[in-house]
Structure 1
Amino acid sequence: MADTAVECDEKARGRSEPPGRPPRNRAVMKHSDVLGGLDYLAADYHRQDFSKHIHNEYLIGLIERGVHDVWCRGEIWHAGSGTVATFAPGEPHFGGAGDDLGWSQKIFYMPEGLVRQVLEDSGQNEPGTIDFKSPFQENAPVAHGLSAFWRLLEHGHSSALEIEEYLIRFLPHVFAEAGGSRVAGPKFVPPRIRDVCDFIHAHFDEVLQLAALAALAGCCKATLIDGFKAHFGLPPTRYLIQVRIDEARRLLRRGQHVADVAVAVGFADQSHLTRHFKAVLGVTPARYLSV
């Protein structure tokens, strides 16, 4: 099983913080190839603001310390220690620290294909995406199971077979405890909005103009913006950034250099990629690339 590590621990580099300087964020992100691949993140944040974004994967995790404030579903959630985070694909959210002490978390990014395969292997073969009852939930058994899954992934001698067996036993329990309704098939998106969405996915590495996208949809700019926000939770510009970041993750896992990736996915330079990447994933692409 190949792992790609992201290390943001300054102390591990042999440097200590000067007196009076605020503590640095520390984050580790890795990639496991099991069942087609998943990313998993451990982070200790003191100052970290996440911009409004979505994930194409299921985001399932655990707040281990402090308070993480997150806007989602029209309200602010104050997620404290021991809280389980459960986000379905495409659920818009943003947030940061709930107080001056920051927070620690462990997050798993599980692609829909992986979740679907695991649920089918456990006898749950109903189609569609599963929504969650709420983005944050108090559930001690699930929290303990997530910690155990992290330890299994981190154990150097764990085989792909062991990890797959654990997921088949544990993941159905997570969805049984925290899952809500099942949405059969992809959600409906009006054809003109879908056409623009498909165009963005095909041309994300180009300079796109809002006027051209609106013309493609056959509507004015304001209508296009409102349509994207209604169906994706993001305006077209932020949706484009999201697509570019997803593609950047794929290229970085293949070992491409950050500066080359920035240009390949359509950002002006490495600094622009870094700013947006960190605001969505909580780590910089340079750290994501380092092993």
Structure 2
Amino acid sequence: MTAEFWRSDALPQLESRRSCREVACYRPHTHDRFSIGLIDAGESSFTGASGRAVELRSGDVLCIPAGHVHACNPEGGRWEYQMIHADQTWIRRLLGAAGPEAGETERLLGAISVFRVPGLHRRFDALNERLFAGGVPDPARIGDELRNGLRRCARAVPLHREAPVSDPETSTRLRAVIARLRDDETVPTLDELAELAGMSRFQLIRAMKRTTGLTPTSWRHDHRVNAARRLLREGGTLAGVAAELGFADQSHFHRVFRSHVASTPGSYRA
């Protein structure tokens, strides 16, 4: 099985991927959508913002909320996996943000969860098979199947759960740094960012790693890759997206995108 992406105008809230990789390494990254990962074959290692490694095996299911740093990489040899990405606001509506299900929904959307639950992988695998089967998907049926699978996740006990670090004081001090990394078309220096936060360069790096799981440079790359994915989904050209997001050239765009997505921008767009 080679890398393969699925998208449909009938369900713009959803995209999916099936992939087989050998020694493909993802840098720590985030998704701008809620993600469901399925390990189909082989062994791999998951790490979140804490850096703690969790060994994954065939049949495991991961639920990764939008914006949560993670990386999954093979433990030697070949591994196969699937990823379903869905707009998180849509997922929240599907699961119910009020009533008896509200607490379950917030737990699922509040932390990365790894599940080793019999039958759970099979449920999402069947959903993905339906997406890749061709034809126009039935949004109501897909929504029902996704809701039922995620509600089962929300009620299950995870093998591993990783919530983001909560440090309001540091997050406040980093607010101007994040805004500069997100909005400045130029590349701000570490000294400039440290001055914005009122920290030394080393304090800034440690604070960013502790609160976001990424260094300032990695955070900027990750943000731009997520923006690139959105623009490519909307039909943007490779050259246009690279220029709009301030990459030095298409080669630089290609390298950064591939290190986060383990696929080229052209393959993702196709």
TM, length-normalised to structure 2: 0.85
Is it true that 1:140 corresponds to 2:118 in the alignment?
A: yes
List aligned pairs for 1:139-288, cutoff 5 A.
139-155=117-133, 156-178=135-157, 188=168, 190-203=171-184, 205-288=185-268
Return the structure number with greater strand share. Answer: 1
Instruction: Give the SS at the match of 1:148.
Output: helix
Say yes or no: does 1:117 pair with 2:102.
no
In 1, Cα distance between equivalents of 2:12 and 2:167: 24
Q: Which moved more, 1:249-258 or 1:47-56?
A: 47-56
1:84-123 maps to which residues of 2 (within 5 A)?
84-100=61-77, 102-120=78-96, 123=99
Structure 1 counterpart of 2:156, which letter?
E
Give the C-alpha shift of residue 233 in structure 1.
0.5
Q: Secondary structure at the match of 2:156?
A: helix
**1:26-45 equivalence runs, <5 A:** 26-32=2-8, 37-45=13-21
Q: Which structure has the highest helix share of the two? A: 2
Q: Is the 8 A contact 2:177 2:196 kept in 1?
A: yes
Amino acid at match of 1:79: L
Residue 51 (structure 1) aligns with:
27
Deviation readout 1:179-207 (Å, 9 max, x if unpaired): 68898xx973531212211232222x332
Check 1:191–1:119 CA distance in 2 against 1; reply closer, same or farther (3 A cut).
same
> Which secondary structure state, in structure 2, belongs to the residue aligned with residue 45 of structure 1?
strand
Aligned length: 261
Identity %: 27
Judge conservation of contact 2:39–2:61 (CA < 8 Å) in 1.
yes
Asked if structure 1 preserves the Cα contact closer than 8 Å seen for 2:10 and 2:137, the reply is no
What are the ranges of 5 or more consecutive residues in structure 2 without an aligned counterpart? Answer: none
Q: Per the alignment, do residues 34 and 202 of structure 1 end up closer, same or farther by CA in structure 2, a change over 3 Å counting?
A: farther
The superposition leaves residues 37-84 of structure 1 with CA deviations (integer Å, 9 ceiling, x where unpaired) of 133110011231111223343321211111122333433333222122
Aligned partners of 1:214 and 1:224 also within 8 Å: yes
CA gap 1:122/1:202 in 2 versus in 1, 3 angstroms = same
Checking the alignment, whether the CA contact within 8 Å between 2:31 and 2:67 is kept in structure 1 is yes
**Alpha-carbon displacement from aligned partner over 1:121-158 (angstroms, at most 9, x marks no partner):** 795234844324x43x3112211111111022223243
Q: 1:36 deviation in Å?
A: 5.5
Which blocks of at least 5 consecutive residues in structure 1 are unaligned?
1-8, 10-25
What SS does the corresponding residue of 2:214 show, helix, strand or coil? coil
TM-score normalised by length of structure 1: 0.79
How far apart are the structure 2 equivalents of 1:244 and 1:168?
30
Displacement of 1:112 in angstroms is 2.4
Cα 1:244–1:139, aligned 2, differ >3 Å: closer, same or farther?
same
1:16 alignment counterpart: none
Report if the CA contact (8 A) 1:66-1:104 is conserved.
yes
Aligned to 1:17: none
Partner of 2:110: 130
Spell out, residue by residue over 1:208-228, the C-alpha distance to the aligned partner (whole angstroms, 9 max, x if none).
222221222222211111111
Q: What is the one-letter code of the residue matched to 1:275?
A: R
Q: CA deviation at 1:255?
A: 1.3
TM superposition shift of 1:34: 6.2
1:35–1:114 Cα contact (<8 Å) kept:
no
Contact 1:259 1:270 in 2 (8 A): yes
SS of aligned partner of 1:223: helix
Taking the aligned partners of 2:116 and 2:6, their CA distance within structure 1 comes to: 26
